[in-house]
Amino acid sequence: MPFAIRTTIVLACLLYAHGMATTSAAAQAHASPLQGQQVILVTGSTSGLGREVALRMGAQGAHVIVHGRDEARGLAVVEQINSGAGSARFYSADFASFDNVRSLAASILRDYDRLDFLVNNAGFGSAPDERWVSEDGHEFRFQVNYLAPFLLTTLLKERIISSTPSRIVNVSSLAQSPIDWEDVMIENNFSGGRAYG
């Protein structure tokens, strides 16, 4: 599916769910949601579809928790949102590390008393065609694209439920391969496309 069509579909779903069918690291520490402002966590929001979702939700007046690995890109998204109708704050976490995911969840639970939307967008594509293993011992793409979002959702679940009406949006791909239950971590016959989908 072309990126523009996928982006349009995801944004339309988020806007429907949302109810509408010069920032530095120090300055952003004070960026917090206003009374009644919806709080939205968009993982992988420093580029691509996640960035677009974060900017659009910020333009609708939401407080956006911007997530990614690159602080400079994250702060640029925060600055753009804070210069408009919304507010934002950046959190860095690498989904190739479960410790990073746990730390991200702990920081969000510490800093926010509500979480209206969780958009699980972060992911890693099919290229390069090389097998990597995460520090936790899992095939890299499997951890980043599936295990880490599951862990984050599980850790934030009670906060999301207590913020009802709330939503969890899982961004996925049409690229799919059946799981080989005899070789879940794809140690044999590896290909990036097979690992991605």
Would you name the residues annotated as active-site residues?
Answer: 196
Residue 16 sits at the vertex; the CA angle it makes with 164 and 53, to the nearest 5 degrees, is: 95
Distance CA 126, CA 116 (A): 31
Q: How far is Cα 61 from Cα 105, in angstroms, rounded to an integer? A: 23
Residue 82 has which token pair? 């804070």
Beta bridge pairs of residue 105 = none
Distance CA 99, CA 113 (A): 22
Could you tell me the CA-to-CA distances from 124 to 38, 44, 143, 192 in Å, in that order? 28, 10, 10, 10
| CB-based contact 177:21 (threshold 8 Å) | no
d(CA 12, CA 27): 32
Ramachandran category for residue 166: left, alpha or beta (phi over 0 → left; psi -120 to 50 → alpha): beta
- Measured in Å, how far apart are the chain's first and last C-alpha atoms? 14
